[in-house]
Structure 1
Amino acid sequence: MTASTPYIVPKEPGGGRALTLAALVHAALFVFLWIGIAWQSQTPVTIEAEVWDPVPREAAPLPEPPRVKEPEPEPKPVVKEAPKPKVEEPPVVKPDIALEKEKKRKEEEKKKRLEEERVAKEKKRLEEEKLAKLKEEESKKRLEKEKADKAKKEADDKKRREEADQKLMAKMREDEMKRMTGAVGTGGTGEAPKSQGGRADGDYVQRIAAKIRSNINYIVPEGLQGNPPVEYEVRLLPDGSVAGIRKLKSSGIPGFDEAVSRAIERSQPYPRDKSGNVPSTFIGIHRPKDQ
Protein backbone atom coordinates (compact mmCIF):
# COMPACT_ATOMS: atom_id res chain seq x y z
CA MET A 1 0.00 0.00 0.00
CA THR A 2 1.28 3.43 -1.01
CA ALA A 3 0.09 6.96 -0.66
CA SER A 4 -1.42 6.87 -4.15
CA THR A 5 -3.42 3.60 -3.75
CA PRO A 6 -6.45 3.26 -1.36
CA TYR A 7 -6.57 0.76 1.52
CA ILE A 8 -8.15 -2.66 0.54
CA VAL A 9 -9.45 -5.14 3.18
CA PRO A 10 -7.96 -8.58 2.44
CA LYS A 11 -10.32 -11.52 1.96
CA GLU A 12 -10.51 -14.17 4.64
CA PRO A 13 -9.33 -17.65 3.50
CA GLY A 14 -11.86 -20.58 3.28
CA GLY A 15 -14.93 -18.53 2.43
CA GLY A 16 -15.95 -20.69 -0.54
CA ARG A 17 -15.74 -23.92 1.39
CA ALA A 18 -18.02 -22.55 4.06
CA LEU A 19 -20.68 -21.57 1.54
CA THR A 20 -20.55 -25.00 -0.10
CA LEU A 21 -20.92 -26.80 3.24
CA ALA A 22 -23.92 -24.66 4.21
CA ALA A 23 -25.68 -25.45 0.89
CA LEU A 24 -25.17 -29.21 1.43
CA VAL A 25 -26.61 -29.09 4.94
CA HIS A 26 -29.73 -27.28 3.76
CA ALA A 27 -30.25 -29.77 0.92
CA ALA A 28 -29.97 -32.73 3.30
CA LEU A 29 -32.52 -31.15 5.62
CA PHE A 30 -34.95 -30.64 2.76
CA VAL A 31 -34.70 -34.30 1.69
CA PHE A 32 -35.24 -35.53 5.23
CA LEU A 33 -38.38 -33.43 5.66
CA TRP A 34 -39.84 -34.53 2.29
CA ILE A 35 -39.38 -38.26 3.03
CA GLY A 36 -40.85 -37.99 6.53
CA ILE A 37 -44.01 -36.21 5.36
CA ALA A 38 -44.60 -38.69 2.53
CA TRP A 39 -44.33 -41.73 4.89
CA GLN A 40 -46.84 -40.35 7.33
CA SER A 41 -49.51 -39.70 4.61
CA GLN A 42 -49.97 -43.48 3.69
CA THR A 43 -53.16 -45.27 5.10
CA PRO A 44 -52.39 -48.37 7.26
CA VAL A 45 -53.89 -51.81 6.29
CA THR A 46 -55.94 -53.71 9.10
CA ILE A 47 -56.48 -57.58 9.26
CA GLU A 48 -59.21 -59.34 11.39
CA ALA A 49 -59.09 -63.10 12.48
CA GLU A 50 -61.48 -65.37 14.57
CA VAL A 51 -60.14 -68.29 16.68
CA TRP A 52 -62.25 -71.50 17.40
CA ASP A 53 -61.45 -74.32 19.93
CA PRO A 54 -62.43 -77.87 18.64
CA VAL A 55 -62.68 -79.46 22.20
CA PRO A 56 -66.11 -78.90 23.87
CA ARG A 57 -66.20 -77.69 27.51
CA GLU A 58 -68.83 -78.19 30.24
CA ALA A 59 -70.71 -75.22 31.50
CA ALA A 60 -69.69 -73.86 34.85
CA PRO A 61 -71.83 -75.13 37.79
CA LEU A 62 -74.44 -72.81 39.30
CA PRO A 63 -73.56 -71.26 42.62
CA GLU A 64 -74.89 -73.01 45.77
CA PRO A 65 -77.63 -71.25 47.73
CA PRO A 66 -76.45 -69.59 50.94
CA ARG A 67 -76.72 -71.75 54.06
CA VAL A 68 -78.69 -70.50 57.08
CA LYS A 69 -76.47 -70.38 60.16
CA GLU A 70 -78.03 -72.17 63.13
CA PRO A 71 -77.96 -70.28 66.43
CA GLU A 72 -75.27 -71.47 68.80
CA PRO A 73 -76.39 -72.67 72.25
CA GLU A 74 -75.86 -70.20 75.08
CA PRO A 75 -72.86 -71.11 77.27
CA LYS A 76 -73.65 -72.26 80.76
CA PRO A 77 -72.51 -69.83 83.47
CA VAL A 78 -69.40 -70.99 85.17
CA VAL A 79 -69.63 -70.75 88.93
CA LYS A 80 -66.26 -69.94 90.42
CA GLU A 81 -65.45 -71.39 93.78
CA ALA A 82 -64.42 -68.98 96.48
CA PRO A 83 -60.67 -69.18 97.12
CA LYS A 84 -59.73 -70.94 100.27
CA PRO A 85 -58.10 -68.69 102.84
CA LYS A 86 -54.39 -69.13 102.94
CA VAL A 87 -53.17 -70.04 106.35
CA GLU A 88 -49.75 -68.59 106.99
CA GLU A 89 -47.65 -70.60 109.29
CA PRO A 90 -45.68 -68.60 111.88
CA PRO A 91 -42.03 -68.34 110.98
CA VAL A 92 -39.87 -70.73 112.83
CA VAL A 93 -37.11 -68.81 114.59
CA LYS A 94 -34.00 -70.80 115.02
CA PRO A 95 -32.20 -70.40 118.35
CA ASP A 96 -28.87 -69.53 116.70
CA ILE A 97 -30.45 -66.74 114.64
CA ALA A 98 -32.23 -65.31 117.70
CA LEU A 99 -28.98 -65.32 119.70
CA GLU A 100 -27.15 -63.66 116.83
CA LYS A 101 -29.77 -60.91 116.56
CA GLU A 102 -29.70 -60.31 120.31
CA LYS A 103 -25.92 -60.15 120.27
CA LYS A 104 -25.97 -57.71 117.38
CA ARG A 105 -28.55 -55.54 119.17
CA LYS A 106 -26.44 -55.43 122.33
CA GLU A 107 -23.33 -54.50 120.33
CA GLU A 108 -25.20 -51.65 118.64
CA GLU A 109 -26.47 -50.41 122.01
CA LYS A 110 -22.93 -50.58 123.39
CA LYS A 111 -21.53 -48.63 120.43
CA LYS A 112 -24.26 -46.02 120.82
CA ARG A 113 -23.55 -45.70 124.55
CA LEU A 114 -19.81 -45.38 123.95
CA GLU A 115 -20.39 -42.72 121.29
CA GLU A 116 -22.62 -40.74 123.66
CA GLU A 117 -19.97 -40.98 126.40
CA ARG A 118 -17.26 -39.85 123.97
CA VAL A 119 -19.36 -36.85 122.86
CA ALA A 120 -20.05 -35.94 126.51
CA LYS A 121 -16.33 -36.19 127.41
CA GLU A 122 -15.37 -34.09 124.39
CA LYS A 123 -17.94 -31.45 125.35
CA LYS A 124 -16.69 -31.45 128.94
CA ARG A 125 -13.07 -31.15 127.76
CA LEU A 126 -13.91 -28.17 125.55
CA GLU A 127 -15.74 -26.49 128.42
CA GLU A 128 -12.78 -27.09 130.75
CA GLU A 129 -10.36 -25.69 128.16
CA LYS A 130 -12.58 -22.64 127.72
CA LEU A 131 -12.79 -22.15 131.50
CA ALA A 132 -9.03 -22.59 131.88
CA LYS A 133 -8.45 -20.05 129.12
CA LEU A 134 -10.75 -17.56 130.85
CA LYS A 135 -8.96 -18.12 134.16
CA GLU A 136 -5.60 -17.68 132.46
CA GLU A 137 -6.74 -14.42 130.89
CA GLU A 138 -8.08 -13.20 134.24
CA SER A 139 -4.83 -14.17 135.97
CA LYS A 140 -2.84 -12.39 133.28
CA LYS A 141 -4.95 -9.26 133.66
CA ARG A 142 -4.58 -9.44 137.46
CA LEU A 143 -0.79 -9.81 137.20
CA GLU A 144 -0.62 -6.90 134.77
CA LYS A 145 -2.71 -4.81 137.15
CA GLU A 146 -0.54 -5.79 140.11
CA LYS A 147 2.56 -4.97 138.09
CA ALA A 148 1.12 -1.59 137.11
CA ASP A 149 0.10 -0.89 140.72
CA LYS A 150 3.56 -1.91 141.92
CA ALA A 151 5.23 0.33 139.34
CA LYS A 152 2.96 3.19 140.36
CA LYS A 153 3.70 2.57 144.05
CA GLU A 154 7.44 2.48 143.39
CA ALA A 155 7.15 5.72 141.42
CA ASP A 156 5.17 7.29 144.25
CA ASP A 157 7.68 6.03 146.84
CA LYS A 158 10.56 7.34 144.77
CA LYS A 159 8.85 10.70 144.42
CA ARG A 160 8.11 10.74 148.14
CA ARG A 161 11.74 9.89 148.99
CA GLU A 162 12.99 12.58 146.64
CA GLU A 163 10.67 15.08 148.26
CA ALA A 164 11.82 13.91 151.69
CA ASP A 165 15.45 14.25 150.61
CA GLN A 166 14.79 17.75 149.37
CA LYS A 167 13.07 18.66 152.62
CA LEU A 168 15.94 17.10 154.57
CA MET A 169 18.52 19.02 152.62
CA ALA A 170 16.54 22.23 153.09
CA LYS A 171 16.20 21.54 156.82
CA MET A 172 19.85 20.66 157.13
CA ARG A 173 20.84 23.86 155.37
CA GLU A 174 18.45 25.79 157.60
CA ASP A 175 19.84 24.12 160.72
CA GLU A 176 23.35 24.73 159.55
CA MET A 177 22.56 28.38 158.94
CA LYS A 178 20.97 28.64 162.41
CA ARG A 179 23.94 26.92 163.97
CA MET A 180 26.35 29.19 162.19
CA THR A 181 24.27 32.24 163.07
CA GLY A 182 24.06 31.21 166.73
CA ALA A 183 27.78 30.45 166.86
CA VAL A 184 28.63 33.84 165.44
CA GLY A 185 26.14 35.82 167.56
CA THR A 186 26.41 34.08 170.97
CA GLY A 187 29.51 32.00 170.63
CA GLY A 188 27.41 28.82 170.43
CA THR A 189 25.40 27.19 173.12
CA GLY A 190 25.90 23.53 172.14
CA GLU A 191 22.34 22.60 173.09
CA ALA A 192 21.70 18.89 172.35
CA PRO A 193 18.15 19.20 170.94
CA LYS A 194 19.37 21.59 168.26
CA SER A 195 22.33 19.45 167.17
CA GLN A 196 22.65 16.04 165.45
CA GLY A 197 25.41 13.48 165.59
CA GLY A 198 27.43 12.17 162.67
CA ARG A 199 27.52 8.62 161.27
CA ALA A 200 26.35 5.93 163.69
CA ASP A 201 28.91 3.70 165.39
CA GLY A 202 28.95 -0.10 165.36
CA ASP A 203 27.09 -0.61 168.66
CA TYR A 204 24.24 1.66 167.51
CA VAL A 205 24.01 -0.08 164.12
CA GLN A 206 23.77 -3.52 165.77
CA ARG A 207 21.07 -2.27 168.16
CA ILE A 208 18.83 -0.82 165.45
CA ALA A 209 19.54 -3.76 163.07
CA ALA A 210 17.74 -6.06 165.51
CA LYS A 211 14.79 -3.69 165.53
CA ILE A 212 14.69 -3.64 161.71
CA ARG A 213 14.92 -7.47 161.48
CA SER A 214 11.88 -7.81 163.74
CA ASN A 215 9.86 -5.80 161.20
CA ILE A 216 11.00 -7.71 158.07
CA ASN A 217 8.10 -9.74 156.69
CA TYR A 218 9.60 -12.13 154.14
CA ILE A 219 9.44 -15.90 153.55
CA VAL A 220 12.73 -17.33 152.36
CA PRO A 221 12.16 -19.50 149.24
CA GLU A 222 13.22 -23.14 149.39
CA GLY A 223 16.42 -23.98 147.59
CA LEU A 224 17.86 -20.45 147.86
CA GLN A 225 21.53 -20.58 146.93
CA GLY A 226 23.78 -18.70 149.37
CA ASN A 227 22.80 -15.86 151.67
CA PRO A 228 23.16 -12.66 149.56
CA PRO A 229 23.12 -9.38 151.54
CA VAL A 230 21.30 -6.14 150.78
CA GLU A 231 22.88 -2.87 151.91
CA TYR A 232 21.00 0.40 152.57
CA GLU A 233 22.15 3.85 153.59
CA VAL A 234 19.56 5.49 155.86
CA ARG A 235 19.50 9.23 156.58
CA LEU A 236 17.80 10.33 159.78
CA LEU A 237 16.35 13.59 161.03
CA PRO A 238 17.11 14.93 164.54
CA ASP A 239 13.80 13.55 165.82
CA GLY A 240 14.72 10.01 164.69
CA SER A 241 12.42 9.84 161.65
CA VAL A 242 13.67 8.59 158.30
CA ALA A 243 14.69 11.34 155.89
CA GLY A 244 15.77 9.10 153.01
CA ILE A 245 16.76 5.55 152.05
CA ARG A 246 19.33 4.71 149.36
CA LYS A 247 20.16 1.18 148.23
CA LEU A 248 23.91 0.71 148.00
CA LYS A 249 23.90 -3.01 147.07
CA SER A 250 21.12 -5.39 146.03
CA SER A 251 20.81 -8.97 147.19
CA GLY A 252 19.53 -10.01 143.76
CA ILE A 253 16.16 -10.88 145.31
CA PRO A 254 13.75 -7.97 144.63
CA GLY A 255 11.16 -9.23 147.15
CA PHE A 256 13.68 -9.34 149.98
CA ASP A 257 15.10 -5.90 149.11
CA GLU A 258 11.59 -4.41 149.18
CA ALA A 259 10.79 -6.15 152.50
CA VAL A 260 13.93 -4.67 154.11
CA SER A 261 13.08 -1.18 152.79
CA ARG A 262 9.58 -1.39 154.29
CA ALA A 263 11.02 -2.67 157.60
CA ILE A 264 13.38 0.35 157.79
CA GLU A 265 10.40 2.70 157.41
CA ARG A 266 8.30 0.79 159.98
CA SER A 267 11.12 0.91 162.54
CA GLN A 268 11.12 4.72 162.87
CA PRO A 269 11.53 6.77 164.97
CA TYR A 270 15.08 5.62 165.74
CA PRO A 271 16.58 6.09 169.21
CA ARG A 272 19.45 8.36 170.23
CA ASP A 273 22.99 7.06 170.57
CA LYS A 274 25.24 7.22 173.67
CA SER A 275 25.95 10.88 173.08
CA GLY A 276 22.24 11.70 173.28
CA ASN A 277 21.98 12.61 169.60
CA VAL A 278 20.38 10.87 166.65
CA PRO A 279 22.99 9.89 164.05
CA SER A 280 22.62 11.58 160.69
CA THR A 281 23.19 8.34 158.74
CA PHE A 282 23.78 4.66 159.27
CA ILE A 283 24.46 1.66 156.98
CA GLY A 284 22.18 -1.35 157.36
CA ILE A 285 23.18 -4.79 156.01
CA HIS A 286 20.65 -7.63 156.07
CA ARG A 287 20.57 -11.21 154.71
CA PRO A 288 17.44 -13.33 154.00
CA LYS A 289 18.57 -16.38 156.02
CA ASP A 290 19.45 -14.27 159.06
CA GLN A 291 15.81 -13.29 159.74
Structure 2
Amino acid sequence: MHAHTDRDQFAPPRPPARLRAITLAVLVHAVLIGALTWGVNWKNTADQPAVEAELWAAVPTLAAPRAVEPPPPPPPPPVQQVTPPAPPPPPVRAAEPPDTREADIAIEREKKRLEQEKKAREQQQLREKRERDRKEEERRDRLEQEKKERLQKERDKEKEQREKQLAEQKKAEQDKQKKLAEDKRKADEASKRKAEAEAKHLAEQREANLRRIQGLAGATGGENATGTALRSAGPSGSYGGKVAAKVKPNIVYPDAISGNPRAEVEVRLSPDGTIVGKRLVQSSGNKAWDDAVLRALDKTETLPRDVDGRVPPSLTIGFRPQD
Protein backbone atom coordinates (compact mmCIF):
# COMPACT_ATOMS: atom_id res chain seq x y z
CA MET A 1 0.00 0.00 0.00
CA HIS A 2 2.92 2.39 0.73
CA ALA A 3 4.40 1.66 -2.65
CA HIS A 4 1.12 2.66 -4.34
CA THR A 5 1.01 5.98 -2.40
CA ASP A 6 4.63 6.75 -3.33
CA ARG A 7 3.90 6.04 -6.97
CA ASP A 8 0.94 8.53 -6.92
CA GLN A 9 3.19 11.22 -5.49
CA PHE A 10 5.71 10.87 -8.30
CA ALA A 11 3.16 10.33 -11.12
CA PRO A 12 2.86 13.09 -13.81
CA PRO A 13 -0.11 15.54 -13.43
CA ARG A 14 -3.30 14.41 -15.00
CA PRO A 15 -4.53 16.40 -18.08
CA PRO A 16 -7.26 19.10 -17.37
CA ALA A 17 -10.80 17.93 -17.36
CA ARG A 18 -12.86 18.31 -20.52
CA LEU A 19 -15.41 20.61 -18.84
CA ARG A 20 -12.68 22.97 -17.77
CA ALA A 21 -11.37 23.23 -21.32
CA ILE A 22 -14.82 23.97 -22.78
CA THR A 23 -15.48 26.71 -20.19
CA LEU A 24 -12.15 28.35 -21.01
CA ALA A 25 -12.97 28.32 -24.74
CA VAL A 26 -16.39 29.93 -24.21
CA LEU A 27 -14.87 32.73 -22.12
CA VAL A 28 -12.27 33.44 -24.81
CA HIS A 29 -14.96 33.66 -27.49
CA ALA A 30 -17.10 36.01 -25.34
CA VAL A 31 -14.14 38.35 -24.83
CA LEU A 32 -13.47 38.40 -28.58
CA ILE A 33 -17.11 39.21 -29.42
CA GLY A 34 -17.24 42.00 -26.82
CA ALA A 35 -14.06 43.55 -28.21
CA LEU A 36 -15.41 43.53 -31.76
CA THR A 37 -18.69 45.15 -30.69
CA TRP A 38 -16.94 47.90 -28.78
CA GLY A 39 -14.72 48.67 -31.77
CA VAL A 40 -17.67 49.09 -34.17
CA ASN A 41 -19.55 51.47 -31.82
CA TRP A 42 -16.49 53.60 -31.33
CA LYS A 43 -16.09 54.03 -35.09
CA ASN A 44 -19.70 55.19 -35.69
CA THR A 45 -19.50 57.82 -32.96
CA ALA A 46 -16.35 59.27 -34.46
CA ASP A 47 -17.94 59.62 -37.92
CA GLN A 48 -20.67 62.12 -36.65
CA PRO A 49 -19.06 65.67 -36.39
CA ALA A 50 -20.04 67.93 -33.48
CA VAL A 51 -20.99 71.58 -34.59
CA GLU A 52 -20.91 74.39 -32.05
CA ALA A 53 -21.15 78.25 -32.85
CA GLU A 54 -20.76 81.30 -30.64
CA LEU A 55 -22.18 84.79 -31.77
CA TRP A 56 -20.78 88.25 -30.70
CA ALA A 57 -22.57 91.64 -31.14
CA ALA A 58 -20.78 95.02 -31.56
CA VAL A 59 -23.45 97.04 -29.78
CA PRO A 60 -25.17 95.85 -26.85
CA THR A 61 -28.72 95.30 -27.45
CA LEU A 62 -31.50 94.49 -25.29
CA ALA A 63 -32.42 91.18 -25.13
CA ALA A 64 -35.41 90.36 -27.06
CA PRO A 65 -37.97 88.31 -25.52
CA ARG A 66 -37.28 84.74 -25.59
CA ALA A 67 -38.70 83.39 -28.64
CA VAL A 68 -40.60 80.34 -28.42
CA GLU A 69 -38.35 77.56 -29.45
CA PRO A 70 -39.74 75.40 -32.06
CA PRO A 71 -40.14 71.84 -31.17
CA PRO A 72 -37.08 69.88 -31.80
CA PRO A 73 -37.04 67.92 -34.93
CA PRO A 74 -37.68 64.35 -34.58
CA PRO A 75 -34.59 62.39 -34.05
CA PRO A 76 -33.28 60.75 -37.08
CA PRO A 77 -34.03 57.18 -37.34
CA PRO A 78 -31.47 55.13 -35.68
CA VAL A 79 -28.89 53.80 -37.98
CA GLN A 80 -29.18 50.18 -38.00
CA GLN A 81 -25.81 48.82 -37.27
CA VAL A 82 -25.04 45.77 -39.21
CA THR A 83 -23.34 43.42 -36.91
CA PRO A 84 -20.61 41.75 -38.81
CA PRO A 85 -20.60 38.07 -38.55
CA ALA A 86 -18.55 36.80 -35.73
CA PRO A 87 -15.22 35.53 -36.81
CA PRO A 88 -14.84 31.87 -36.59
CA PRO A 89 -13.37 30.81 -33.32
CA PRO A 90 -9.74 30.07 -33.47
CA PRO A 91 -9.02 26.43 -33.65
CA VAL A 92 -8.59 24.93 -30.29
CA ARG A 93 -5.07 23.83 -30.04
CA ALA A 94 -4.54 20.46 -28.60
CA ALA A 95 -3.16 20.60 -25.14
CA GLU A 96 0.53 20.18 -25.23
CA PRO A 97 1.60 17.03 -23.52
CA PRO A 98 2.98 17.82 -20.12
CA ASP A 99 6.67 17.47 -19.52
CA THR A 100 7.07 14.01 -18.02
CA ARG A 101 10.81 13.98 -17.68
CA GLU A 102 10.75 14.65 -13.96
CA ALA A 103 7.98 12.11 -13.54
CA ASP A 104 9.99 9.58 -15.55
CA ILE A 105 13.00 10.31 -13.40
CA ALA A 106 10.89 9.87 -10.28
CA ILE A 107 9.41 6.67 -11.66
CA GLU A 108 12.87 5.38 -12.53
CA ARG A 109 14.10 6.25 -9.06
CA GLU A 110 11.10 4.51 -7.55
CA LYS A 111 11.75 1.45 -9.71
CA LYS A 112 15.36 1.41 -8.62
CA ARG A 113 14.34 1.82 -5.01
CA LEU A 114 11.84 -1.02 -5.30
CA GLU A 115 14.42 -3.17 -7.06
CA GLN A 116 16.93 -2.42 -4.33
CA GLU A 117 14.38 -3.21 -1.65
CA LYS A 118 13.47 -6.44 -3.44
CA LYS A 119 17.12 -7.36 -3.80
CA ALA A 120 17.73 -6.51 -0.15
CA ARG A 121 14.76 -8.67 0.89
CA GLU A 122 16.02 -11.53 -1.28
CA GLN A 123 19.50 -11.21 0.19
CA GLN A 124 18.04 -11.09 3.69
CA GLN A 125 15.92 -14.17 2.95
CA LEU A 126 19.00 -15.89 1.52
CA ARG A 127 21.03 -15.05 4.62
CA GLU A 128 18.22 -16.26 6.85
CA LYS A 129 17.95 -19.49 4.83
CA ARG A 130 21.71 -20.04 5.05
CA GLU A 131 21.56 -19.42 8.78
CA ARG A 132 18.68 -21.91 9.16
CA ASP A 133 20.56 -24.45 7.03
CA ARG A 134 23.70 -23.93 9.11
CA LYS A 135 21.81 -24.39 12.38
CA GLU A 136 20.04 -27.47 10.99
CA GLU A 137 23.35 -28.96 9.89
CA GLU A 138 24.85 -28.23 13.31
CA ARG A 139 21.83 -29.87 14.94
CA ARG A 140 22.20 -32.97 12.73
CA ASP A 141 25.93 -33.13 13.43
CA ARG A 142 25.29 -32.79 17.18
CA LEU A 143 22.67 -35.56 17.09
CA GLU A 144 25.00 -37.78 15.05
CA GLN A 145 27.86 -37.17 17.48
CA GLU A 146 25.61 -37.91 20.46
CA LYS A 147 24.45 -41.11 18.74
CA LYS A 148 28.06 -42.19 18.11
CA GLU A 149 29.01 -41.45 21.72
CA ARG A 150 25.97 -43.35 22.99
CA LEU A 151 26.78 -46.37 20.79
CA GLN A 152 30.43 -46.25 21.87
CA LYS A 153 29.37 -46.20 25.54
CA GLU A 154 27.05 -49.15 24.93
CA ARG A 155 29.85 -51.08 23.17
CA ASP A 156 32.27 -50.27 25.98
CA LYS A 157 29.69 -51.37 28.55
CA GLU A 158 29.03 -54.62 26.66
CA LYS A 159 32.77 -55.24 26.36
CA GLU A 160 33.22 -54.61 30.07
CA GLN A 161 30.36 -56.98 30.87
CA ARG A 162 31.83 -59.67 28.59
CA GLU A 163 35.26 -59.28 30.16
CA LYS A 164 33.72 -59.41 33.62
CA GLN A 165 31.71 -62.50 32.68
CA LEU A 166 34.79 -64.18 31.19
CA ALA A 167 36.78 -63.33 34.31
CA GLU A 168 34.03 -64.78 36.50
CA GLN A 169 33.87 -67.91 34.34
CA LYS A 170 37.64 -68.25 34.44
CA LYS A 171 37.66 -67.82 38.20
CA ALA A 172 34.81 -70.31 38.56
CA GLU A 173 36.72 -72.80 36.40
CA GLN A 174 39.87 -72.25 38.43
CA ASP A 175 37.91 -72.69 41.65
CA LYS A 176 36.35 -75.83 40.20
CA GLN A 177 39.70 -77.28 39.20
CA LYS A 178 41.11 -76.31 42.55
CA LYS A 179 38.22 -78.00 44.31
CA LEU A 180 38.59 -81.09 42.13
CA ALA A 181 42.28 -81.22 42.91
CA GLU A 182 41.57 -80.77 46.59
CA ASP A 183 38.87 -83.46 46.49
CA LYS A 184 41.25 -85.79 44.66
CA ARG A 185 43.97 -85.12 47.18
CA LYS A 186 41.58 -85.80 50.03
CA ALA A 187 40.29 -88.93 48.28
CA ASP A 188 43.84 -90.13 47.69
CA GLU A 189 44.71 -89.48 51.31
CA ALA A 190 41.55 -91.27 52.42
CA SER A 191 42.33 -94.20 50.12
CA LYS A 192 45.88 -94.26 51.38
CA ARG A 193 44.75 -94.21 54.99
CA LYS A 194 42.19 -96.89 54.23
CA ALA A 195 44.76 -99.04 52.49
CA GLU A 196 47.21 -98.55 55.33
CA ALA A 197 44.50 -99.43 57.80
CA GLU A 198 43.57 -102.52 55.79
CA ALA A 199 47.19 -103.51 55.46
CA LYS A 200 47.70 -103.04 59.17
CA HIS A 201 44.56 -105.02 59.87
CA LEU A 202 45.68 -107.81 57.55
CA ALA A 203 49.12 -107.84 59.08
CA GLU A 204 47.66 -108.08 62.54
CA GLN A 205 45.28 -110.78 61.36
CA ARG A 206 48.09 -112.64 59.68
CA GLU A 207 50.26 -112.43 62.75
CA ALA A 208 47.37 -113.63 64.85
CA ASN A 209 46.81 -116.55 62.51
CA LEU A 210 50.48 -117.37 62.51
CA ARG A 211 50.57 -117.32 66.26
CA ARG A 212 47.53 -119.52 66.35
CA ILE A 213 49.04 -121.96 63.86
CA GLN A 214 52.36 -121.82 65.64
CA GLY A 215 50.66 -122.90 68.76
CA LEU A 216 49.15 -125.91 66.94
CA ALA A 217 52.28 -127.17 65.21
CA GLY A 218 56.00 -126.74 65.37
CA ALA A 219 57.92 -124.28 63.17
CA THR A 220 59.54 -125.52 59.93
CA GLY A 221 62.29 -122.96 59.79
CA GLY A 222 65.95 -123.72 60.41
CA GLU A 223 67.77 -123.29 63.60
CA ASN A 224 68.95 -119.85 62.63
CA ALA A 225 65.50 -118.68 61.40
CA THR A 226 64.27 -115.48 63.03
CA GLY A 227 60.72 -115.50 61.62
CA THR A 228 57.66 -116.62 63.47
CA ALA A 229 55.98 -118.48 60.56
CA LEU A 230 55.85 -122.24 60.48
CA ARG A 231 57.62 -122.26 57.10
CA SER A 232 59.12 -119.74 54.67
CA ALA A 233 56.50 -117.21 53.52
CA GLY A 234 58.06 -116.58 50.08
CA PRO A 235 56.17 -117.83 46.98
CA SER A 236 57.48 -120.65 44.81
CA GLY A 237 59.35 -120.02 41.57
CA SER A 238 56.32 -120.86 39.45
CA TYR A 239 53.87 -118.68 41.39
CA GLY A 240 54.72 -115.53 39.40
CA GLY A 241 53.79 -117.26 36.14
CA LYS A 242 50.47 -118.40 37.59
CA VAL A 243 49.63 -114.85 38.73
CA ALA A 244 50.59 -113.35 35.33
CA ALA A 245 48.48 -115.94 33.52
CA LYS A 246 45.49 -114.96 35.69
CA VAL A 247 45.87 -111.16 35.41
CA LYS A 248 47.14 -110.57 31.86
CA PRO A 249 43.91 -111.57 30.03
CA ASN A 250 42.16 -108.76 31.90
CA ILE A 251 44.59 -106.06 30.68
CA VAL A 252 42.82 -103.96 28.04
CA TYR A 253 45.22 -101.62 26.22
CA PRO A 254 44.41 -101.14 22.51
CA ASP A 255 46.92 -98.35 21.90
CA ALA A 256 50.38 -98.99 20.53
CA ILE A 257 53.22 -98.40 22.96
CA SER A 258 56.84 -97.62 22.28
CA GLY A 259 59.29 -100.09 23.80
CA ASN A 260 58.46 -102.59 26.51
CA PRO A 261 58.23 -100.62 29.76
CA ARG A 262 57.69 -102.42 33.09
CA ALA A 263 55.09 -101.41 35.66
CA GLU A 264 55.54 -102.87 39.16
CA VAL A 265 52.53 -103.17 41.45
CA GLU A 266 52.51 -104.23 45.10
CA VAL A 267 49.44 -106.41 45.74
CA ARG A 268 48.06 -107.21 49.18
CA LEU A 269 46.05 -110.42 49.51
CA SER A 270 43.78 -112.03 52.02
CA PRO A 271 44.41 -115.66 53.02
CA ASP A 272 41.90 -116.86 50.44
CA GLY A 273 43.67 -114.94 47.61
CA THR A 274 41.29 -111.98 47.44
CA ILE A 275 43.04 -108.78 46.39
CA VAL A 276 42.48 -106.31 49.21
CA GLY A 277 44.86 -103.58 48.09
CA LYS A 278 47.25 -102.55 45.36
CA ARG A 279 49.85 -99.82 44.92
CA LEU A 280 51.95 -98.79 41.97
CA VAL A 281 55.51 -98.90 43.29
CA GLN A 282 57.28 -98.21 39.98
CA SER A 283 55.67 -96.52 36.99
CA SER A 284 56.37 -97.65 33.47
CA GLY A 285 56.56 -94.05 32.32
CA ASN A 286 53.30 -94.51 30.43
CA LYS A 287 50.33 -93.58 32.58
CA ALA A 288 47.86 -95.31 30.26
CA TRP A 289 49.71 -98.63 30.66
CA ASP A 290 49.93 -98.20 34.43
CA ASP A 291 46.17 -97.55 34.65
CA ALA A 292 45.44 -100.56 32.42
CA VAL A 293 47.42 -102.82 34.79
CA LEU A 294 45.61 -101.50 37.86
CA ARG A 295 42.22 -101.95 36.18
CA ALA A 296 43.16 -105.53 35.28
CA LEU A 297 43.94 -106.33 38.93
CA ASP A 298 40.56 -104.88 39.96
CA LYS A 299 38.88 -107.05 37.37
CA THR A 300 40.83 -110.17 38.47
CA GLU A 301 39.70 -109.75 42.12
CA THR A 302 41.46 -112.94 43.38
CA LEU A 303 44.83 -114.56 42.73
CA PRO A 304 45.50 -118.33 42.64
CA ARG A 305 47.06 -120.24 45.53
CA ASP A 306 50.66 -121.29 45.44
CA VAL A 307 51.76 -124.92 45.02
CA ASP A 308 51.58 -125.44 48.76
CA GLY A 309 48.00 -124.12 48.84
CA ARG A 310 48.98 -120.95 50.55
CA VAL A 311 48.55 -117.32 49.38
CA PRO A 312 51.32 -114.86 50.19
CA PRO A 313 50.02 -111.82 52.13
CA SER A 314 51.70 -109.46 49.68
CA LEU A 315 53.83 -109.60 46.59
CA THR A 316 55.21 -107.31 43.92
CA ILE A 317 54.25 -108.14 40.36
CA GLY A 318 55.85 -106.70 37.22
CA PHE A 319 53.92 -106.32 33.95
CA ARG A 320 55.28 -105.58 30.46
CA PRO A 321 53.18 -105.09 27.29
CA GLN A 322 55.18 -107.57 25.27
CA ASP A 323 55.65 -110.31 27.89
Alignment TM-score, normalising by the size of structure 2: 0.44
The structure with the largest helix share of the pair is: 2
Q: Could you say which structure has the greater relative contact order, defined with CA pairs below 8 angstroms and 6 or more residues apart?
A: 1
- Structure number with larger C-alpha Rg: 2
Q: TM-score, normalised by structure 1?
A: 0.48
